[in-house]
Amino acid sequence: MTQHTPTRPLEGLRVVDFSTLVAGPYCSRYLSDLGAEVIKIESAEGDYMRSQAPLRDGMSTYFGQVNCGKKSVVANLKDSEMLADVKRLIDTADIVIENFRPGVMTRFGLDFETLSDSNPGLIYCAVSGYGQTGPGAERPAYAQNVHASSGHDLTLLRYQDELTRPANSVLFYADILAAIYALSAVNTALYSREKTGRGQHIDVSLMESVVNLMPYDVQEAQFPAKISRPVYKPSRTTDGFVIIMPNTQRNFEMLARATGHDEWITDPRFATVEARYNNFPELLATIEGWTIQRSSEECERILSAASVPCGRYRTVAEALEDPQLKHREAFQTVTDRAGDYLVTNLPFKMSGGTVSAVPTVSELGEYKLSDFL
């Protein structure tokens, strides 16, 4: 029987990527993971991320995480001849990704309306902080200020006991979410093009991406809850912390039995979901009385064996060694001039195709426009 060799699902598609930093580039990297040819247009200085730590021999692994698999072309969009070549390149493309402020691409004549005249099947994805239109569209945006203005940071503060100001912003939720929504929108547009023969313009905002992260809080802001939802907190162990989630009645009863405290099941403070909601701090204190006598690994092992949702707190370095993640091939080794390192793969597998990072990182200007025309 002939064996089928899986291919990458988006093989044969061409992407021209004008984006920098994280949100746009992560979307185009995902498209590369799925098989598309991604041509990254950079200025002579290169994407700012090329200079960002961690660095080895001047090569940024942060840049590689977000941009592996792409082909770097240096192009000065203010040079009329080079701009004409860029437009010719886009005529051969299926997808354009950009994350300039609204209006910048229009000034270069690289807006969707202009480009789709000669390439009606073009899918054009614009990623911005607040969207392409509206009273806030022109505001400068990074993930951190979007987190603040979306309500995300004050929502997190509301659920903390020991903080008196919003937490320092170091994880770029807005960028990653926008990249994922952009990928979803691009693939939806590709499906639509199969039926209509025409491409379309996609407008993705970081702000709306973060608001979508908070379904409960969007509703609770409109209809304040009489009883606050339970806030699951770390339980201290002999060597760190675990998080335990006795969310349903069944979860709670399994927790009580696994810890040897069957009496919790009939305790009037904890016997029902409503009772636990009303006495949640007491419940957590009671659970911690059990966890604080054991190591994090022991707590996780005992409770997981009893089908109680529980996880010990680990560093990213520890997570990199997780045997389940290794089994899942969650990481891909990529190579640049300075050597090998791991990047994350997309968190899904497909039975009919390969989904993984392309294991190379292009040097700035490694390719020329003429290579693709």
Q: Which two three-digit tokens encode residue 179?
A: 């990249």
Instruction: Give the pLDDT confidence score for residue 162 in this predicted structure.
Output: 85
Q: For position 338, which CATH number holds?
A: 3.40.50.10540
Q: How are strands ordered across the β-sheet holding 201-205?
A: 71-74, 37-42, 14-17, 95-98, 123-128, 201-205
Contact 38, 11 (CB under 8 A): no
Q: Are residues 185 and 264 in the same domain?
A: no
Q: Are residues 241 and 204 in the same domain?
A: no
The residue out of 312, 337, 364 marking a domain boundary is 312
Q: Are residues 203 and 282 in the same domain?
A: no
3 pLDDT band (50/70/90 cuts)? low
Contact 347, 30 (CB under 8 A): no
Contact 276, 230 (CB under 8 A): yes
Tell me the residue length of the chain.
373
**Domain-located, residue 252:** yes
How many other C-beta atoms can be found within 10 angstroms of the C-beta atom of residue 276? 21
Q: For position 281, which CATH number holds?
A: 3.30.1540.10
User: What rounded mean pLDDT belongs to the chain?
Assistant: 95
pLDDT tens readout for residues 311-332: 999 999 999 999 999 999 999 9
The residue out of 268, 289, 312 marking a domain boundary is 312
pLDDT tens readout for residues 218-242: 999 999 988 778 889 999 999 999 9
Contact 179, 28 (CB under 8 A): no
Q: Are residues 75 and 171 in the same domain?
A: yes
The residue out of 281, 312, 343 marking a domain boundary is 312
> Is a pLDDT exceeding 70 seen at residue 2?
no
Structural element, H or E, at residue 336: strand 331-336
247 pLDDT band (50/70/90 cuts)? confident
- CA dihedral defined by 132, 134, 138, 139, rounded to 10 degrees? -110
Q: Are residues 159 and 107 in the same domain?
A: yes
Q: Are residues 278 and 356 in the same domain?
A: no
Q: Which residue segment(s) compose the domain that 298 sits in?
A: 235-312
C-alpha 74/C-alpha 238 separation (Å) is 55
Q: Which two three-digit tokens encode residue 316?
A: 């990213």
Structural element, H or E, at residue 98: strand 95-98
Lowest mean pLDDT of 97-111, 160-174, 193-207, 334-348, name the range. 160-174
- How confident is the model over 278-299, as a mean pLDDT? 96
> Is a pLDDT exceeding 80 seen at residue 5?
no
Helix (H, G, I), strand (E, B) or coil at 90: helix
Structural element, H or E, at residue 340: strand 339-344
Contact 141, 206 (CB under 8 A): yes
Q: Are residues 180 and 92 in the same domain?
A: yes
Instruction: Give the pLDDT confidence score for residue 11 in this predicted structure.
Output: 96
Contact 73, 368 (CB under 8 A): yes
Instruction: Give the pLDDT confidence score for residue 4 in this predicted structure.
Output: 55
Helix (H, G, I), strand (E, B) or coil at 56: strand
Q: Are residues 40 and 172 in the same domain?
A: yes
* Interacting residues of 158 by C-beta distance below 8 A, sequence separation 6+: none
Q: Are residues 308 and 166 in the same domain?
A: no
Q: Measuring CA to CA, which residue among 31, 63, 23 is closest to residue 346?
A: 31
Which pairing describes strands 14-17 and 95-98: parallel, antiparallel, or unpaired?
parallel
Chain centre distance of CA 184: 12
Q: Are residues 185 and 118 in the same domain?
A: yes
Burial class (CB in 10 A: 0-12, 13-18, 19+), 156: middle
Q: Which two three-digit tokens encode residue 1?
A: 């029987």
**Domain-located, residue 111:** yes
**Domain-located, residue 258:** yes
Q: Are residues 27 and 56 in the same domain?
A: yes
b/e string for 292-330 if b means 16 or more Cβ within 10 A? eebebebbbebbeeeebbbebeeeeeeeeeeeeeeeeeb
Tokens 């091939």 locate to 329
C-alpha 148/C-alpha 265 separation (Å) is 41
b/e string for 183-220 if b means 16 or more Cβ within 10 A? bebbbebbeebeeeeebbbbbbbbbbbbbebbeebeee
> What is the tally of structural domains in the chain?
2
pLDDT tens readout for residues 142-176: 999 999 999 999 999 999 988 889 999 899 999 99
